[in-house]
Amino acid sequence: MAAKPAAASPAGPPMIAAGEARARALDAADPLRGLRERFHIPSGPDGKPSAYLCGNSLGLQPKSARDQVEQELDDWKNLAVRAHFAGRRPWYSAHEAFRESGARLVGAKPGEVVMMNSLTANLHFMLASFYRPRGRRTKVLMEGPAFPSDTYAVKSHLACRGVDPAENVVVAAPRPGEETVREEDALALIAREGPRLALVVMGGVNFLTGQLFDLERLTRAAHQVGALAGWDLAHAAGNVVLRLSEWQVDFAVWCSYKYLNGGPGALGGCFVHERHGGDPALPRMAGWWGNDPATRFQMHLIPEFIPRAGADGWQVSNPPILSLAPLRASLAIFDEVGMDALRAKSERLTGFLTDLLDQVTPAGAVRVITPRAAGARGCQVSLRARGGRATFQALAAAGVTCDFREPDVIRVAPVPLYNTFHDVWRFADALARAVAAPS
């Protein structure tokens, strides 16, 4: 955290009260304030709406989601197999309805995005196509710490291909005593590994620290040494503005249950740049739903796989209709509001949060580990607070929902769709009280 003002006081009432008044004023002036009404806000221990700041883990339920799911249940009930073609949203092409809204979210062309599977499964599918070791070029670069599922996916994938993961996964990690990865260190590692590097796989926004990487710059650096670049956008999709197509990203994968509010275990997303998607010869793990729909039901009569152009050519199975339904409700809201407006509010929310923490928490009690610069973070702010888990529990008791990652990181994510400046104030107030309390 940057130096606190000299007068930073314990959780003194005047400072806290001023913060609350400011929060109320910011909410009154917020052009997006009406969106909150479209989501179910869980209650806290007192039965009142909690300050839910955990959209980085599981986004809230859009009120319109239930109706979308019920429509599919009704079509199943009334039409059964006929709903594949005669349903209100024919199941045969259900995933195609997500092309445009999915693409808008990540700055892609419609044919470059398919919503399918889950994140880690999609990462495996992408590795099958884009990890192409040849000669000395066998290494994968990741960031440290990467989300464990990504590390498991990459290492196990290498092992399946007969490549020793211990020798072939290189990690761009924070320097000793630092919390985030210096981009110049990642760039230097890419340059150093150059002819040995096959692929860069990084999180667009790091799951632990909330650090937002410069995807365009790192992708370009990978390409300059002859490697490819793929991104895990679990913490970036629906959070920050992305331009995957323009940035020449090779592939990306994400989940839809965090910032995209698609519900627990919701369908993931997958981006394949058009220069790859248009290449039917690219090796892939194929399934019938990636086949040309015109011949898909020819079944055994045409046994050869004829890939659809674009990201759709990587889809293996028919889509889970009940899982798509809430996502449709949520993406309609994203389409209406747009990422630019959401990002603008998000920067104001996190700026308000870090300023408040400076003002209301005792010096030395809280250390923000997320980069201060708005361009180097999304809406998640991660911090280490005095009292660790006990402090986190005190927040929960005060009706503030955020999350805790061992050994001592509290992650808090004001989400512009449904969080208020007052939610942020509640968090800062509860945190100030918790860290000021004698342990």
Ligand X SMILES: Cc1ncc(COP(=O)(O)O)c(C=O)c1O
Kindly tell me which of 106 and 119 has the beta carbon lying closer to ligand X: 119
Side-chain half-sphere of 152: how many Cα atoms within 13 Å?
6
Minimum CB separation of residue 117 from ligand X in Å reads: 9
Kindly tell me which of 145 and 416 has the beta carbon lying closer to ligand X: 145
Kindly report the backbone phi and psi dihedral angles of residue 178, in degrees, each rounded to the nearest multiple of 5, phi listed first: -110, 165
Give the helix/strand (H/E) hosting 19: helix 13-28
Minimum CB separation of residue 267 from ligand X in Å reads: 9
Beta carbons within 10 angstroms of residue 86's beta carbon: 13
Minimum CB separation of residue 118 from ligand X in Å reads: 4
Both tokens of residue 157?
């994938």
Minimum CB separation of residue 385 from ligand X in Å reads: 22
Closest CA to 101 of 340, 344, 327: 327
Minimum CB separation of residue 80 from ligand X in Å reads: 30
Q: Which residues bind ligand X (CB under 6 A)?
A: 118-120, 147, 149-150, 203, 207, 232, 234-235, 255, 268
The Cα–Cα gap between 80 and 321 comes to 12
Tell me the angle at which helices 339-360 and 321-337 cross, rounded to the nearest 10 degrees. Answer: 80
The Cα–Cα gap between 374 and 416 comes to 14
Contacts of residue 241, Cβ cutoff 8 Å, sequence gap at least 6: 107, 339, 340, 343
Kindly tell me which of 129 and 359 has the beta carbon lying closer to ligand X: 129
Kindly tell me which of 256 and 291 has the beta carbon lying closer to ligand X: 256
| Three-state secondary-structure class, residue 363 | coil
Kindly tell me which of 32 and 121 has the beta carbon lying closer to ligand X: 121
Kindly tell me which of 54 and 394 has the beta carbon lying closer to ligand X: 54
Residue number, nearest CB to ligand X:
120
Minimum CB separation of residue 123 from ligand X in Å reads: 8
